[in-house]
Amino acid sequence: MAAATTGFITLPDNVRLAYSQSGPPTGPNIVFIPGWIQTAAQFHKQVSHFQTRFRVTTYDHRGHGDSDKPAFGYRVPRLAADLDALLNQLDLRAVTLVGHSMGASVIWAHRDLFPRTRIAKVVFVDQARTLVSQPTWSDEQKLQAGGSFSADALYETVALLTGPGGDEVRKQFARRFYSEGVDEEEFEWAARQSAKAPNEVAAKMMLGHAMHDWGDVFPRFDVPVLVISAKGSLLPVESGEWIVGQVGKNARQVVFEKEEGGSHFMFFENPEKFNRILEEFLDE
């Protein structure tokens, strides 16, 4: 097996994205896309598993991890353009995109904006079509949409992130996305990874992510879709069911129980089950 390759691609706006590739160069391509203020390193339990058979690519969004941290571009469509540049510059073909949380939204924006000739399959990991509920929605509509914020609550959180004590706000906010039984050392390591994104970036990216409603994108997916949800997540399982229904026959959902590390970060807390499910999907 070839050694892991790390480097940077340079985007058209001169921002550099850090990326890593491992596994056989001729293996089937997987690209893991991290979520809000997450880093590529947080997929290390997937990389170590899949690199035996697959060509695995991970990368850090602008403002995150080891990528450049410009003062601009913190909107999901911009991140989708960054993803498209990565696919083209690395010449990745027949790719399976695996997007966690905001990373799934990046896939949705990419489907909305760019040709999909390089994409073979997609995986959406615990992300709802929007994060902000509309006040006129019924309880059922809120479950299906998955929105966990009101608009006021979103702006309050953004203000806290950039105010005094923003670091602690981020850490306590993050803890809500892990199960009660998460290993404390692993949580602290993940928190240090997230801290690579400055508070200003975290705030801008939350606003640039949460307000979108991607509901009209799903019927246009014509490749196999796997939706992974978790009963211990803040996002309702029903929001994943709704996405599957919108995609249609090409889609299916897998649900992690709360007792089996079924948090927002189920791929981190229960990598054995996550990797098995993903590998089965890849081999279909």
Residue 2: per-residue pLDDT: 56
Burial grade of 113 (CB within 10 A; 0-12, 13-18, 19 or more): exposed
Mean pLDDT of 21-33: 97
SS3 labels along 195-225: CCCCHHHHHHHHHHHHCCCCCCCHHHCCCCE
Question: Percent of the chain at pLDDT above 90?
Answer: 89
Model pLDDT for residues 115-135, shown as the tens digit of each residue = 889 999 999 999 999 999 888
- What pairing do the DSSP bridges indicate for beta strands 119-125 and 225-230? parallel
What's the CA dihedral at 255, 100, 46, 250 to 10 degrees?
60
- Count Cα neighbours of 225 within 13 Å in the Cβ-side half-sphere: 27
Mean pLDDT of 46-56: 97
Residue 174: per-residue pLDDT: 87
As a whole number, the mean pLDDT across the chain is 95
* pLDDT grade for 1, boundaries at 50, 70 and 90: low
- Which secondary-structure segment (H or E) carries 19? strand 16-22
Q: From start to end of 101-247, where are the E strands?
A: 119-125, 225-230
Determine the Cα–Cα distance for residues 254 and 161; give it in Å rounded to an integer: 33
Determine the Cα–Cα distance for residues 158 and 146; give it in Å rounded to an integer: 19
* pLDDT grade for 114, boundaries at 50, 70 and 90: very high
Residue 149: per-residue pLDDT: 84
Q: Which two tokens stand for residue 233?
A: 């997540």
Q: Which residue segments constitute the domains of the chain, with CATH numbers given?
A: 5-283 (3.40.50.1820)
